[in-house]
Every structure is written in structure tokens, then in C-alpha cells.
């Protein structure tokens, strides 16, 4: 398998970045959904948010790398069987997923830094609080974070369903290309 994308399929770097982001998004959503129900006396009350924030910061870095990689190694050309509407939906869907990812991560950062404290990433390093003092910053960012997280997970689920539809109903190479199959 090639490292870089070709005109026919995705390369190893794009594939690994795609699946890392997918696992992180669903994992962070599940962790966030679980941790908001914790009470003050739970042993996870402080640990779960710290893990959530640390993975979120790492995901932000991975997403920056992913955007950089898209410019360095563009994805495969659209399949000939994909009409104009499918091509538009693909571009729009990916754009909305990227914007949603960055939006949910930025809002999470704004929640975590509203009090002026940096975010510790697994104790390895700290991300400083650069934006503080916005009126109701934590509350507004919290609502944005929650709604964007739900939207992102729903859109990612639709994205997965679309890939499965292409594979099992249309019998085209859309899904195979995401696994680097040269025959796709």
C-alpha cells in the first residue's frame, strides 16, 4: 500500500488519519455522554473530563495534520458513476464534517479555559488559556459543544451509511478506496 493518495484510492496516511478521527469522535462522544451524568462523589468525576480534554486536544492536532495532508496529497478523483449531485453531496458532507469537528473542539477549548486555567494534556504539556473573559463563555460554549457533538455524531453516522450504501447497493468502489484497495 502506498503512503500517499493516488487518483484511484487513498493512501495509508489518509486511511489511518480517517479511522483515528472516526474512533476518537465516537469515543469522545460516548465518554462525554457518560461523564455528564457523574456525580461529585464518583472517582471518575475529575478523571473523565481530563481524559476527554486530553484526547480532544490530541484530536485537534490530528485534524490539523489531516487538513495539511489533504493539501499535500489530494484524495482520489470522483468515480465516473457518481453524478453531479453525488459529487456535490460528497464535498458538502466532508466540508460540514470538518467544520463540525473544528467547531466542537474549539467550543470544548472555550469551555475548559473559561476560568483562565490551561488544559493539561495527560500531564505531558499544557495548552494555555488564550481566550477568556467572554461573558457566559463556559455556558455558551457548553451549549455549542453539546449540539455540535450530537450533530457531528449523527452526520458521521450518515456518512458511514452512505459508504455502506455505495458498497452494498450501488456496488461501486467508494468504500474499497477508503481501505486502499487498488482494484477499487
Task: Give the pLDDT confidence of 113-164 residue by residue, as tens digits.
Answer: 999 999 999 999 999 999 998 999 999 999 999 999 999 999 999 999 999 9
- Residue 172, CA atoms < 13 Å, CB-side half-sphere: 15
Domain residue limits, the chain:
12-178
pLDDT digits (tens, 9 = 90+) for 83-103: 999 999 999 999 999 999 999
CA–CA separation, 133 and 43 (whole Å) = 30
DSSP at 28: H
Residue whose C-alpha is closest to residue 112's, from 81, 141, 90, 77: 141
Report DSSP letters for 73-120, one per residue.
SPPPPPPTT--HHHHHHHHHHHHHHHHHHHHHHHHHHHHHTTTSPPEE
What predicted TM-score, i.e. pTM, was given to this entire model? 0.92
* CATH classification code of 12-178: 1.20.950.20
- Split at pLDDT 50, 70, 90, the class of 183 is low
Amino acid at each position: 500500500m502506498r503512503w500517499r493518495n493516488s487518483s484511484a484510492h487513498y493512501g495509508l496516511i489518509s486511511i489511518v488519519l480517517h479511522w483515528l478521527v472516526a474512533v476518537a469522535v465516537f469515543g469522545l462522544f460516548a465518554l462525554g455522554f457518560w461523564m455528564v451524568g457523574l456525580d461529585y462523589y464518583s472517582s471518575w468525576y475529575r478523571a473523565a473530563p481530563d481524559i476527554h480534554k486530553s484526547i480532544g486536544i490530541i484530536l485537534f492536532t490530528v485534524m490539523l495534520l489531516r487538513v495539511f495532508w489533504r493539501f499535500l496529497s489530494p484524495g482520489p478523483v470522483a468515480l465516473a458513476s457518481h453524478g453531479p449531485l453525488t459529487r456535490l453531496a460528497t464535498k458538502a458532507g466532508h466540508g460540514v464534517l470538518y467544520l463540525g469537528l473544528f467547531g466542537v473542539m474549539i467550543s470544548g477549548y472555550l469551555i475548559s479555559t473559561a476560568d483562565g486555567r490551561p488544559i493539561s494534556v495527560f500531564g505531558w504539556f499544557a495548552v494555555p488559556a488564550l481566550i477568556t473573559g467572554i461573558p457566559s463563555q463556559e455556558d455558551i460554549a457548553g451549549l455549542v459543544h453539546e449540539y455540535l457533538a450530537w450533530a457531528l455524531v449523527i452526520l458521521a453516522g450518515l456518512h458511514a451509511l452512505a459508504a455502506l450504501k455505495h458498497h452494498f447497493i450501488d456496488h461501486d468502489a467508494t468504500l474499497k478506496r477508503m481501505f486502499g484497495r487498488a482494484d477499487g
